[in-house]
Amino acid sequence: MSHISSLTIADYTTKSGVSLKNLPLSYQVFGKQLGTAPVVLVTHALTGNSNVCGDNGWWKELIGVEKCINSEDFSIISFNIPGNGFDGFLIENYKDITIYDVAQWFLIGLQQLNISNVFAGIGGSLGGSILWQMAVLKPNLFQNLIPIATDWKATDWLIAQCRVQKQILSNSENPIHDARVHAMTFYRTPQSFKQKFNRSINEALKIFNVESWLLHHGETLQKRFQLQAYKLMNHLLVTSSFETQEMFLNLASKIEGNIYLVGIDSDGFYLNEEIKDTFLTLKPLKDNVHFAEINSIHGHDAFLIEYDQLSGILIPIFNSEKHTKTKKYEHANIG
């Protein structure tokens, strides 16, 4: 695993008006040393973290030596969302924080590292929502913006699911475990469960295999996640700062780089039709907007499963012939 480094944001006032002092912002860098290659920023999802590649990297099938995002060609950086607990830091008053604040923290982090241009920003689910916010706040930052299985807004459906999660986290005797058991039912699909389990029985436990699988996911997350962190991350999902579509379109049309929206046809969380609608309404305002679709029975989690399809979509963006022709990356060599 890459070494975890940390920056400090000395003084920050949240969008809600709360003053924070000496906020730690931890990150990891993979591949080429910063200042020697184009930068790829990876923003993590709800239970993810900065450890994106290597033996235990959660996106190791996509990022690494001779992978789709080749660590021999790029400097790959990923920040932890402050308060996700991966670095031991928690935020007590999580309701003070929004996606807007996280995006600002990441922008401050890039600034402290003297990174003024990012070849590609890529992230799925919550991570992609953070990218949208970053790109609007700094329209010339990304040469390529790649939000996957996500959208600029929280729909009523997503808000409803996050509310159920919040109820479980507030009221369950076993909150992280139980919230995760519920979450796995909307990260996947009925068709995915049928293919995987087909009503089979776990003979040792005398329950259905789908039940033992759900319980396993609950137990696994409980071992590595803290309640305050889960509450924050679930809360962030519903905090998009774009109040109307008109506001979003006006700001997003000013983003300079290419935008590649990636949806999943069976996604039951960030619905594919919403992502398509974002594409169709933004396309008349901005030429270099593209849409691609992952076809899968596995629902929202397909961006962590369908690596052949995802690589097929991304390789034209990340191959060497492409990135030598794009705008020169400009940032100081920080040694």
User: Are the CB atoms for 275 and 263 separated by under 8 Å?
Assistant: yes
In a shared domain, residues 275 and 142: yes
pLDDT attached to residue 2: 79
- Residues 239 and 68: their CA atoms lie apart, in Å, by 31
In a shared domain, residues 266 and 121: yes
Within 8 A by CB and 6+ apart from 137, the residues are 103, 104, 107
List helix spans (H) across 152-290. Answer: 156-171, 175-187, 190-197, 209-224, 227-236, 245-252, 272-282
Which phi and psi (to 5°) does residue 262 adopt? Answer: -125, 120
Residue 167 lies in a domain: yes
What is the domain-level CATH number for residue 193?
A: 1.10.1740.110
pTM over 0.75: yes
In a shared domain, residues 181 and 282: no
Instruction: Count how many domains the chain has.
Output: 2
Residue 332 lies in a domain: no
Domain hosting 320: range is: 5-154+240-325
The rounded Cα 186 to chain-centroid distance in angstroms is 17
pLDDT attached to residue 136: 98
Q: What is the pLDDT of residues 125-158, one digit of tens each?
A: 999 999 999 999 999 999 999 999 999 999 999 9
**Cβ neighbours of 191 (radius 10 Å):** 13
In a shared domain, residues 148 and 176: no
Residue 11 lies in a domain: yes
What is the domain-level CATH number for residue 107?
A: 3.40.50.1820
Residue 331 lies in a domain: no
pLDDT attached to residue 1: 63
Q: What is the pLDDT of residues 252-287, one digit of tens each?
A: 999 999 999 999 999 999 999 999 999 999 999 999
Compute the average pLDDT of residues 43-57: 97
